[in-house]
Amino acid sequence: MIVVPVGLGERAYEVLVGPGARHELASLVARALPDTVRRVAVVTQDLGIEVDPGVEHRTFTIPSGEEAKSMATVEALCSGFARWGMSRRDAVVAVGGGMVTDVGGFAASVYHRGIPVVHVSTTLLGQIDAAIGGKTGVNLAEGKNLVGTFWQPSGVICDTDLLETLPPGEWRSGLGELAKYHFLGGDPDGRALDALAIDEQVAACVRIKAAVVAADEREAALGAGSGRGPGREVLNYGHTLAHAIETAGGYGMRHGEAVAVGLVYAAELARELGRIDDARVAEHRRVVAGYDLPMRVPDGLAGDELIDLFGRDKKALDGITFVLDGPDGVEPVTGVARAAMEAALERVR
Ligand code: NAD
């Protein structure tokens, strides 16, 4: 078992990573939750994954899919909590992928003005991203993740055995984010991320996300020069082109695949700007290919359309902010000339 601490002062918590880690839930609950906690609401989907929180519990099943990541689902959950008589002295355990930890975390953050939550993450994307960092949320008809809170979990479990049942598409969706972490620091001992066993890869990603979150808990995007380590925006590495591809219609690409193309694009753009050399671009291509992920923009997407969409990226602060590799590592970069964006785009066709 690998234990990764998330250093957030009085909100600090542990992430347990490894095969069979879900069996540590009862001991994590006993250790991490206040000893006043009497009962636990297990929020999950129909996944056939059993957990034992070690205290009295009841299971609340929510539907799958982004459509169910809604205020209606949160309301139904909170009504269920109330009917069961849950009080401020009870807690939530969310067991599932990013959808479940986002919804379960949000419900926990608003029920009785906030009760503790523990996440048991069951997807690759959830384990390396969604379950760590305390962002919760639901979608509105007007857009994704428009309503949410920052609500740190009291502990997180990433059981890598659970990944074995993931449908191939969900696995690939997580791989793009995994590839991203390769360029955000990789393994603490300097080993290439993609050379590690899967539980070590997950733990390395969790460590990187934990460091980013600890430096910038509420996405103040302090960034380079703040003296407080990298801002959260580095987690957006590869996402500017990815979001543009997805907004333009997705073209059958999953999020992780679009991120993979976005990583190669970001490398090409960084080289175009003289920030990195050919070898570093080749490393991006090698890593992305190693995860068997795509490196080209889908046919039928016009360059102009994609570049126009860059400006609508929600992370755009002034003009277009790219997140690019360079001599000081991955960091936000503004003022990129359109000609450079176009030239780099030609190399991912
Ligand atoms: P998901 O939670 O929708 O899960 C994908 C599918 O896999 C679902 O049908 C689910 O039922 C199924 N599944 C889950 N675990 C399984 C298992 N072990 N075996 C078999 N099937 C399993 O998708 P996701 O990719 O985990 O998460 C995506 C969500 O996470 C999005 O809503 C996104 O907005 C959110 N997210 C949040 C953050 C954050 O910081 N809070 C970060 C990234 C993504």
**Residue whose CA is at the smallest distance from ligand 1 atom 14:** 97
For the domain made up of 2-181, give the CATH fold: Rossmann fold (3.40.50)
> Quick check: 237 and 292 in contact, CB under 8 A?
no
Q: Quick one: pLDDT at residue 230?
A: 62
Distance from residue 277's CA to the centre of ligand 1 (Å):
36
Task: HSE, CB side, 13 Å, CA atoms: give it for residue 70.
Answer: 13
Q: For ligand 1, pick from 117, 123, 180, 198 the residue to mutate: most ligand atoms within 8 Å of CB.
A: 123
- Backbone angle region of 11, left / alpha / beta, with phi > 0 → left and psi within -120 to 50 → alpha: alpha
* DSSP letter (8 states) at residue 162: G
Measured from the CB, is residue 272 less than 6 Å from ligand 1? no
Measured from the CB, is residue 246 less than 6 Å from ligand 1? no
Question: Using CB atoms within 10 A of its CB, is residue 115 exposed (0-12), middle (13-18) or buried (19+)?
Answer: buried
Measured from the CB, is residue 96 less than 6 Å from ligand 1? yes
Q: Quick one: pLDDT at residue 225?
A: 47
For the domain made up of 224-346, give the CATH fold: Dehydroquinate synthase-like, alpha domain (1.20.1090)
Q: Quick one: pLDDT at residue 194?
A: 87
Which amino acid appears at position 304 of this protein? D
Question: CA 247, CA 306: separation in Å to the nearest integer?
Answer: 9
Q: Quick one: pLDDT at residue 317?
A: 44
Q: Quick one: pLDDT at residue 224?
A: 47
The pLDDT tens digits along the chain (349 residues) read 999 999 999 999 999 999 999 999 999 999 999 988 999 999 999 999 999 999 999 999 999 999 999 999 999 999 999 999 999 999 999 999 999 999 999 999 999 999 999 999 999 999 999 999 999 999 999 988 999 999 999 999 999 999 999 999 999 999 999 999 999 986 777 788 888 999 999 999 999 999 999 998 887 755 444 555 567 889 999 999 999 999 998 778 999 999 999 999 999 999 999 999 999 999 999 999 999 999 999 998 999 999 999 977 555 545 788 999 999 999 999 999 999 999 999 999 9
The domain ranges of the chain are 2-181, 224-346
Which amino acid appears at position 278 of this protein? D
Question: CA 217, CA 132: separation in Å to the nearest integer?
Answer: 11
Q: Quick one: pLDDT at residue 5?
A: 97
**For the whole prediction, is pTM greater than 0.75?**
yes
Helix, strand and coil content of the chain, in percent to the nearest 5, comes to 45, 15, 40
Query: Which spans in the chain are helix H?
Result: 25-32, 71-83, 98-110, 124-125, 168-182, 198-215, 239-247, 255-272, 278-290, 303-310, 338-346
Query: Which one of the listed residues 135, 207, 254, 284 is annotated catalytic?
Result: 135
Tell me, yes or no, if 209 is annotated catalytic.
Answer: yes
Tell me, yes or no, if 312 is annotated catalytic.
Answer: no
Tell me, yes or no, if 10 is annotated catalytic.
Answer: no
Q: How many residues does the chain have?
A: 349
Tell me, yes or no, if 243 is annotated catalytic.
Answer: yes
Q: Is the dihedral of CA 303, 177, 213, 205 positive or negative?
A: negative
288: Cβ–Cβ under 8 A, 6 or more apart, which residues? 179, 260, 263, 264, 294, 295
Strand partners, 6: 13
Secondary structure of residue 134 in the 3-state scheme? coil
**Residue whose CA is at the smallest distance from ligand 1 atom 42:** 130
Q: For ligand 1, pick from 43, 146, 152, 170 the residue to mutate: most ligand atoms within 8 Å of CB.
A: 170
Nearest to 105 by CA among 90, 116, 121: 116
Give the distance from CA 279 to its chain's centroid.
28
Distance from residue 65's CA to the centre of ligand 1 (Å):
9
Tell me, yes or no, if 113 is annotated catalytic.
Answer: yes
Q: Quick one: pLDDT at residue 231?
A: 78
Q: Scanning the structure block, which residue is given the tokens 């690998």?
A: 2
